[in-house]
Amino acid sequence: MVFAHGFGCDQNMWRFVAPAFEDRYRTVLFDHIGAGGSDPAAFDAVRYAVLDGYADDVVAICRAVSVTGGVFVGHSVSAMIGILAYKKAPELFESLILICPSPRYLDDTDYVGGFSAAQVEELLDFLDDNQIGWSQAMAPAIMAHADRPELGEELTDSFCRMDPAIAKRFARTTFLSDNRADLADVQARCLVIQCAEDILAPAEVGAYMHRHLPNSTLAILDTTGHCPNLSAPKETIAAIEAFL
């Protein structure tokens, strides 16, 4: 069972879910490039400008640890990365667990992604200006001699570490991606886990996923936010177990 984290966090986000499957599965957890303990020096702007680059990494990781016929659990953008990886190497996975997935964040004709063009533009502008990212990057420097030096450490060495420069590019890649066309010929069994109230992946997106994945089940969890694996781990585990 391979767990892939989404944008903004690292493999720590599976801490409440992955242990529940360790008795029956060999669990594989990893950090995407730029996140957690990965080597930022390995980042290649061209390779990772599209989600395919991340999908190639998933395939390589799975092959390195000899995964075949496994279960892929992907959160957020990693749900789509998992679908792409499956299409590159179908022998890897029998089942895909897609938590809060979205094939496209930007609204389109007859498609609700949750973000208007103006909003995506604002988000991209923000990525360029990056007030939050900057504050985080500067935090250790600003607070190094403050009364509470642990704060700087917390922001940089937290459970959700991400290289700010790579995070920025990852966000751009994520929010500009459109993988709707990749859904149709996915033959693996798919579970789409949708939160009741999620601004990043609204209910319409979950329904769309379910409708376009030929062999899929939709589970709607009564929880808010974008991370049911953290906000509602028990329900998430239950939904996965029920599916498997």
**Residue 109 is a binding residue for another protein (CB under 8 A):** no
Q: Tell me whether residue 69 or residue 149 sits nearer to another protein (CB atom).
A: 149
Using alpha carbons, list the distances in angstroms from residue 77 to 20, 119, 179, 203. Answer: 23, 18, 10, 16
Q: Does 193 bind another protein (CB under 8 A)?
A: no
Q: Looking at 36-44, 80-88, 89-97, 119-127, which segment touches another protein (CB under 8 A)?
A: 119-127
Tell me which stretch binds another protein (CB under 8 A): 49-57, 62-70, 131-139, 181-189.
Answer: 131-139
Cβ atoms of 17 and 236 within 8 Å: the answer is yes
Q: Say whether 145 is catalytic.
A: no
Based on the shown chain and the rule CB under 8 A, indicate whether residue 21 belongs to the binding site for another protein.
no
Nearest Cα neighbor of 33 from 166, 217, 206 is 166
Q: Does 7 bind another protein (CB under 8 A)?
A: yes
Sequence letter at residue 31: D
- Which residue among 76, 102, 177, 216 is the active-site one? 76
Residue 216: how many CB atoms within 10 A of its CB?
Answer: 19
Does 73 bind another protein (CB under 8 A)? Our answer is: no
Select the residue interacting with another protein from 61, 112, 155, 238 (CB under 8 A): 155
Quick check: is 226 catalytic? yes
Question: Does residue 144 touch another protein according to CB under 8 A?
Answer: no
Q: Is 23 a catalytic residue?
A: no
Q: Which of 96, 76, 104, 20 is nearest to 195 (CA)?
A: 76
Q: Determine if 122 is a binding residue for another protein (CB under 8 A).
A: yes
What is the rounded CA–CA span in Å between residue 82 and residue 79?
5
Q: Do you know the residue count of the chain? A: 244
Any idea what DSSP says for residue 112? Answer: -
Task: Dihedral sign for Cα 191, 14, 45, 198, please.
Answer: positive
CA 104 centroid distance within chain:
13
For position 59 contacting another protein by CB under 8 A, the verdict is no
Q: Which two tokens stand for residue 226?
A: 């974008």
- The site for another protein (CB under 8 A) is made up of 6-9, 12-13, 15, 76, 115, 119, 122-123, 126-127, 131-132, 134-136, 138-139, 151, 154-155, 158-160, 162, 171, 197-200, 223-227, 230-231
Q: Which residues are catalytic?
A: 76, 198, 226
